[in-house]
């Protein structure tokens, strides 16, 4: 279930990256998540953020092996995301250990903060 469409910028020294998800009316959740008024589920937004951080840690930072989703904290949803929107995600990896990392991620849609969360990942 790919939820990351692109990476537009990263800075390895600052451990930051910017990616996006183009939300279309073809998404699997559109028909069922509020029929007649599709709204991107929060859990899918968090999954997109986790995919952004995992991509950064594996392909840019160079962490080896499979990176699994380990947890979320401090999550707030502030705006709705609907088909036709581009959801930008800005991630900052702020903690790295031998097998784990944590990242603060903000989701932006239409120049507004849609969500913020802390993602934890683990090399499994």
pLDDT tens track for 17-51: 999 999 999 999 998 888 889 999 999 999 999 99
pLDDT tens track for 43-74: 999 999 999 999 999 999 988 889 999 999 99
Cα–Cα distance list, 106 to 28, 32, 49, 98, 112 (Å): 23, 26, 8, 25, 10
| pLDDT for 84 | 98
| pLDDT for 20 | 98
- Model confidence band, residue 124 (pLDDT cutoffs 50, 70, 90): confident
pLDDT tens track for 75-96: 999 999 999 999 999 999 999 9
Candidates 75, 63, 56; CA nearest to 9 is 56
| pLDDT for 34 | 86
**CATH superfamily placement of domain 6-123:** Hotdog Thioesterase (3.10.129.10)
| pLDDT for 64 | 87
Instruction: For residue 94, indicate whether it is catalytic.
Output: no
Which of 5, 30, 33, 69 is catalytic? The answer is 33
| pLDDT for 5 | 97
Collapsing DSSP states into helix, strand and coil, what is residue 58?
helix
Number of Cβ within a 10 Å radius of residue 7: 17
């Amino acid at each position: 279930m790919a939820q990351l469409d692109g990476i537009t910028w990263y800075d390895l020294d600052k451990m930051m990256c910017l990616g996006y998800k183009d939300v279309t009316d073809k998404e699997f959740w559109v028909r069922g998540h509020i029929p007649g008024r599709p709204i991107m589920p929060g859990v899918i937004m968090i999954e997109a953020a986790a995919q952004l951080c995992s991509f950064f840690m594996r392909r840019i930072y160079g962490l080896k092996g499979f990176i699994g989703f380990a947890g979320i904290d401090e999550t707030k949803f502030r705006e709705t995301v609907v088909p036709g929107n581009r959801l930008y995600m800005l991630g900052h990896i702020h903690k790295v250990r031998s097998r784990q990392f944590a990242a603060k991620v903000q989701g932006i849609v239409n120049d507004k903060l849609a969500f913020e969360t802390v993602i934890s990942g683990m090399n499994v």
